[in-house]
Structure 1
């Protein structure tokens, strides 16, 4: 019994008329009888009651909150789930869904036929760090008057995926002076990784670890041996970079490798080497000027150009150097009553590469040969000019030799005449007798 009539004729409801619970309440036909207490008469009337629906319930949505975790590689158009909304009101069962995004998640998602879909790239590696969790609201609106709405919160967390291999940056060829001290930092090895968090890398050496060491975090390359350009001009080093903490699965790591070439720069760190370090030469005094006497045998491990300089005082004026060859500066003189040169020379020569030097000693012995000043005759023709030099040599003994020869001749003559004198004085001259 939904209705009752009071004595005053007012029809009232017996309980709440909820059409959502009982759809039969939409139309009720009541038969109402009225009684006359004075004359015992009555009358009846038919009353039809129509119950009008009122928009009293907001839409109900399943699920009431959307919480999702998706990888950054989720493709555009991928469905993330379906939202179902309905209205229990009898006359307001049409529900409209509207996606309302905040400033961070704008255009990242879309609604299509109740499905929440990816509308734009969720790339973890280009988004701002605050964008790894997106928030949005789905507004469900019924068709009642006034319309009622229900909000469904959407929370979507994007997880990283390790997509890219580390890539080494140049230069991959490094020049290092050979006199670099062991333990010095000779380079900083650097690689990049496009996955976020960016450049989370660890470095290591695959080949060449006995010669170099590598800081696993900063990538600083340390020299572990003494370099020698003359022994080895370059070293090959293979390194790798491994990323970490760039995927939900920590075991998913990517590796990049590179070959580093260490070029050893030549440094003048070796003195010239001469073998032998002393020379002896015997020459005649008539040796023409600028004639080679001794050629030094010297080398430099650094390959630098060598120069030689006479450092002994007396020899500087008597000899000269062309390259590593020792020459006489002029003819030696042993002319009587003239300049009489020395016959023995000790020459100290310094051989330099521009930074380091080595000393060499040359002993020159001169055999005197007395000569006069050469005469020169020049014959010239107009057709074919030529110079003819005629040198007349003759014996010009020294005075002591002439004196010795004279004394020797006199003694020889005396010896030859001695027997005759003895014979003459031993036998007396006979006398004539009468």
Structure 2
């Protein structure tokens, strides 16, 4: 207890100053210190406040060797946890230093602590044997020296410095001699001639005393037998031999060959060699000597890391005589690169957030190599070289840090390999694999698959019908990638006639989870043709990110409006009207005059009708329903003009009743019926009727009689000139539009001065819609259409699709995709218009031409 207490008083105080390069704290503690002994106030020396050691999880990291110390969680002090034995930890190495790594979390930091275990004098000197027998010839001269095996002390420094003393004797003394070896040689010196007859055996005690306080001793009994009539002992040419062997030397390797000489003759010259002692004693099986020839060979494996130096005590004796010579063979083991580096992961902080800053410490590693010199110098690298790198924090300690920014959507996990290579030749390598997952942050906004969605919906659809499905992709995971959909508050709307501006949310809604687009109410093409709005996709991250897409909803017309008959235009050839226009089976009553003998082809009246639908559904044709057969009248199929087929005769009667059906091209077709009463009168009566009808709005056309005939002829000529000009202009316009459609891109709009917006694209063609007022392609008495939609099929025209002068049947003009007819749609204005003639060029583009009769 006194020894330990005195050693504890010599504990070195903590070195508070940090080393400028390594940032290392050094402590000192004596060996055999009791458990619980405070080595130093580690938390205070690291600059941590009270309570921080436990909050930041201050702890030691072991590197494969039991540290025997620990950190107190509450106070942050470094205390002894188990028995510290310097000889067990470091052997004969001095000083005995333990390298410790201290980790502090939040943020993660590493500190290096060097703990020096100081030696106390707890080991007494020990001789190889408790008794040593010596034989000395009686004839030995004073001054003769006999080697003795010294004691060993497991301590170091002054505690291992031995001094020897011999029990009182008038014949012998002990001397120490410094040699070139690492240990001293001990000799028993004869100081006075021996007399066997007086004392044949000498019993002496050799005492070894170390330099500790208090000193410890060890003894060996020397039993010296005095031999009578000894001559000459064998002599070696050197007292100490030095040999170097690599640690990978094979068994059976010749270490060296000794030769001892004896000046005697005969049998006294026959020398026998014997290995007297080996230091350390545990290495005895590693060497052997041939007693006859003196060859020392290796019989076991060498290991530089275990024993680097061997001392062999060799004795040479004369056969038959107990005379001997002695020498020492010092075998130095040379290190070879036979130990691969070792890599330990002392701390791993995963997963790493993908927005972690460059320089973030991911892991702490320790590297060591048991070899020495260049064989023990280790160089570390990391593979792959990006995005992580290694930073050396201390000798044998590295930090794995982030070198580049991470992106979880590109790489979600890294397999990192830390490779260590020593400086030997050839070098040895070791590696340690690390799995570093990357955690997600909300760094990606939802993105729709299309910037603009084009949706086609038939009018009169059911409320709640699904119109389309939108989808936005967010590459983030979990809540960061969970997308919800909504119609943007300012996402758009439409101007509705008679109602004003209505927001898009009154027509459609979007399912928040699935992105399905629903119709909230039936759509009416005559009220709304195009609805444009924005849909927003928002993820569930913090903060939330969003993306937008534009939806263009085009309402497709259905044939839900029947043709409506219009009153005749004033001033032109026409008829009187009574009643009101009606749809379906209802009819309107019209009347007109004709003179006897009127030539064939004379226009008597013109039936005008309009359809609120668009395209084919608004394309009207006129048919004479009654009378059937060959009558004196006919109706223009698309012009609605009632004209004579031959000269009128008295046999035709004074009055003719014509029933005319106006039918559109919808599916199914809708129609209206007009009844025209034609009165046949004389020329004078016709003139009077024309004069009276001029003030009432009803017209009468005659073919004879003075000024009336001249006036009618003049009016006819004017109409013919106007028609010719209109037809010529529209023909040139149609040629220009055809050429533009032939060589222009598919998505171009053929009508309209402004840029077109692409509505949709598919295998069968492209829809284009002019958002600005289009140029009217139907020229007639009334106002033209206000918009135009053109469809240009991508497929080649079918055989026999050459331009025709007459209008083909409606089913031949319909090209449908998913039940929607793809053809040109002309919206109908409420003002009267004349039918338009359609031609079909080889490109299958539907154009409009002048309003004239078919075949013109």
Q: Which residue of 1 aligns with 2:287?
A: 109
Cα separation, partners in 2 of 1:161 and 1:366, compared to 1, 3 Å? closer
Q: CA contact under 8 A between 1:178 and 1:229: conserved in structure 2?
A: yes
Aligned mate of 1:215, from 369, 391, 408: 391
Aligned mate of 1:120, from 270, 284, 300: 300
User: Match of 1:105, SS?
Assistant: helix
What is the alpha-carbon distance in structure 1 between the residues aligned to residue 381 and residue 554 of structure 2? 70
Aligned mate of 2:475, from 301, 318, 326: 301
Computing the radius of gyration over CA atoms, which structure comes out larger, 1 or 2?
1
Q: CA contact under 8 A between 2:447 and 2:547: conserved in structure 1?
A: no
Deviation at 1:272, TM superposition (A): 1.0
Cα separation, partners in 2 of 1:306 and 1:286, compared to 1, 3 Å? farther
Aligned mate of 1:326, from 493, 517, 537: 517
Cα separation, partners in 2 of 1:238 and 1:106, compared to 1, 3 Å? same
**How do residues 384-403 of structure 1 correspond to structure 2 at under 5 angstroms?**
none
Aligned mate of 1:184, from 360, 371, 379: 360
Deviation at 1:201, TM superposition (A): 0.7
Aligned mate of 1:54, from 219, 229, 240: 229
Greater relative contact order (CA < 8 Å, ≥ 6 in sequence):
1
What is the alpha-carbon distance in structure 2 between the residues aligned to residue 118 and residue 110 of structure 1? 7
Aligned mate of 1:158, from 329, 333, 354: 333
**How do residues 205-244 of structure 1 correspond to structure 2 at under 5 angstroms?**
209=385, 211-215=387-391, 217-231=396-410, 241-244=420-423
Aligned mate of 1:267, from 440, 445, 470: 440
Deviation at 1:159, TM superposition (A): 0.6
What is the alpha-carbon distance in structure 2 between the residues aligned to residue 348 and residue 87 of structure 1? 113
Q: CA contact under 8 A between 1:271 and 1:357: conserved in structure 2?
A: yes
What is the alpha-carbon distance in structure 1 between the residues aligned to residue 249 and residue 428 of structure 2? 24
Deviation at 1:202, TM superposition (A): 1.1
Q: Deviations over 1:281-300 (max 9, x none)?
A: 79788532431235334222
Cα separation, partners in 2 of 1:155 and 1:317, compared to 1, 3 Å? farther
Q: Which residue of 2 aligns with 1:82?
A: 257
Aligned mate of 1:135, from 287, 308, 311: 311
What is the alpha-carbon distance in structure 2 between the residues aligned to residue 175 and residue 199 of structure 1? 33
Cα separation, partners in 2 of 1:72 and 1:316, compared to 1, 3 Å? farther
Q: CA contact under 8 A between 2:386 and 2:403: conserved in structure 1?
A: yes
Unaligned runs of 5+ in 2: 1-138, 140-227, 490-502, 525-530, 563-578, 581-691, 693-856
Deviation at 1:109, TM superposition (A): 0.8
What is the alpha-carbon distance in structure 2 between the residues aligned to residue 257 and residue 179 of structure 1? 32
Deviation at 1:257, TM superposition (A): 7.9
What is the alpha-carbon distance in structure 1 between the residues aligned to residue 328 and residue 421 of structure 2? 39
Q: Which residue of 2 aligns with 1:11?
A: none
Q: Which residue of 2 aligns with 1:352?
A: 539
What is the alpha-carbon distance in structure 1 between the residues aligned to residue 541 and residue 473 of structure 2? 13
Deviation at 1:87, TM superposition (A): 3.8
Q: Deviations over 1:140-199 (max 9, x none)?
A: 234566x333321121110112246658789xxx98653332122344577775745786
Please report the RMSD computed on the Cα atoms of aligned residues, expressed in angstroms. 5.6
Deviation at 1:78, TM superposition (A): 1.6
Q: Deviations over 1:214-270 (max 9, x none)?
A: 2365343332211224456678989754313x6xxxxx4515487989877462431
Q: Deviations over 1:341-395 (max 9, x none)?
A: xxx998875432555441648889999xxxxxxxxxxxxxxxxxxxxxxxxx999
Q: CA contact under 8 A between 2:235 and 2:326: conserved in structure 1?
A: no
**How do residues 284-433 of structure 1 correspond to structure 2 at under 5 angstroms?**
286-302=460-476, 306-310=482-486, 319=509, 321=511, 323-328=514-519, 331=521, 349-352=536-539, 356-358=544-546, 360=548
User: Match of 2:313, SS?
Assistant: strand
Deviation at 1:310, TM superposition (A): 4.0
Cα separation, partners in 2 of 1:316 and 1:60, compared to 1, 3 Å? farther
What is the alpha-carbon distance in structure 1 between the residues aligned to residue 379 and residue 444 of structure 2? 40
Aligned mate of 1:254, from 394, 415, 427: 427
Deviation at 1:312, TM superposition (A): 7.8
What is the alpha-carbon distance in structure 2 between the residues aligned to residue 165 and residue 150 of structure 1? 44
Aligned mate of 2:272, from 96, 103, 120: 96
What is the alpha-carbon distance in structure 2 between the residues aligned to residue 359 and residue 227 of structure 1? 23
Note if 1:67 corresponds to 2:237.
Answer: no
Q: CA contact under 8 A between 2:448 and 2:549: conserved in structure 1?
A: no
Q: Which moved more, 1:132-141 or 1:300-309?
A: 300-309
Q: Which residue of 2 aligns with 1:202?
A: 379
Q: CA contact under 8 A between 1:168 and 1:256: conserved in structure 2?
A: no
Normalized against structure 2, the TM-score is what? 0.29
Unaligned runs of 5+ in 1: 1-15, 17-52, 247-251, 335-343, 368-392, 396-407, 410-418, 420-434
Q: CA contact under 8 A between 1:79 and 1:116: conserved in structure 2?
A: yes
Deviation at 1:117, TM superposition (A): 1.2
